[in-house]
Amino acid sequence: MNPSLAVYRGLKSAGIDFAASVPCVNLQALLDLVARDPDIIHIPATREEEGVGLCAGAWMGGRRTALLMQNSGLGNCINALASLDLLYGIPLLMIISHRGGAGESIIGQVPMGRLTQPLLDAMQIPNISIPPGQTEEAVAGAVAGAWQDALGSRRPSAVLLDLLFWRGG
């Protein structure tokens, strides 16, 4: 299974037509797929909170939005998520490369790796972790389901994809 292709198919199944992103080595192949898709407007952002704002504006303009980012940037966008998306009921699908867990070689990733889910939980942002070894259909379905959760609750929803997911799919 190709992890990037599986996530991309989930985005397509969800009807995502606008994506903002902040670069991450694990997301690179997915970002390439999104950037080449003529049906998805892709805006690279300089910081995660900028991506939250871009997606909020796109949602208000009728788009179905996703933010592709690394979990280290979650701390950068907490205020934007709380004071914009959560306050005004703006759905957002967050595809998060979850660094800092098993197999992580960069020690600086570990603290935020431990805090990612507790921060999302504290903000009452639904989140799921997709374990490695899933079928492409299961991954795509989970991604599309997370968007449906965001739409239904009118709040962000996060899909966490750890290092083992990206390495082994």
Domains annotated on the chain, with CATH: 3-164 (3.40.50.970)
Question: In this prediction, what percent of the chain has a pLDDT beyond 90?
Answer: 86
Q: What is the pLDDT of residue 106?
A: 85
pLDDT category of residue 28 using cuts at 50, 70 and 90:
very high
Q: pLDDT class for 168, splitting at 50, 70, 90?
A: confident
Burial status of residue 78 (CB atoms within 10 A of its CB: 0-12, 13-18, 19 or more): middle
Residue 169: pLDDT above 70? no
For 105-147, write each residue's pLDDT tens digit: 888 888 889 999 999 999 999 999 999 899 999 999 999 999 9
Question: Which of 27-36, 89-98, 103-112 is the least confident region?
Answer: 103-112
Tokens of 21: 């992103």
Angle between helices 3-14 and 28-36 (to 10 degrees): 40
* Residue whose structure tokens are 């082994």: 168
